[in-house]
Amino acid sequence: MYLTKEKKQEIFEKYGKSNSDTGSTEGQIALFSYRISHLTEHLKSNRKDYSTQHALIKLVGKRRSLLDYLKKKDIERYRKIIAELGIRK
């Protein structure tokens, strides 16, 4: 499996409030970003994997809605997370 329990805890520890705080918006955005990058690499070598392509589109939409929520709630946290993850260029 590409996403181990330790890797997940590391992501939440770095971007969330603690490694057990899986509900924080920043932690979820970081986790979705990690999964999106993994699926993108998979699709580069498996172009006709349409179920993965569909899952990727759904993940991007979920991350977008979380980013929109964070932007409305606290613009500074939004700017910080997109700068850390390099979501926008």
CATH label of the domain that carries residue 81: 1.10.287.10
Q: What pLDDT was estimated at residue 17?
A: 83
Contact 35, 59 (CB under 8 A): yes
Q: What pLDDT was estimated at residue 22?
A: 86
Lowest-confidence segment of 8-12, 56-60, 81-85 by average pLDDT: 8-12
Count of the separate structural domains present in the chain:
1
pLDDT classification of 1: cutoffs 50, 70, 90 = low
Rounded Cα distance, 4 and 87, in Å: 23
Which string of b and e fits 13-32 if b means at least 16 CB within 10 Å?
eebbeeeeeeeebbbbbbbb
Q: What is the pTM of this model?
A: 0.91
Give tens-digit pLDDT for 35-81. Answer: 999 999 999 999 999 999 999 999 999 999 999 999 999 999 999 99
Tell which residue, 36, 30, 4, 32, has the closest CA to residue 15.
30
Q: What pLDDT was estimated at residue 89?
A: 46
CA distances from 87 to 15, 19, 38, 59, 63 (A): 14, 22, 14, 14, 10
Structural domain range at position 77? 5-85
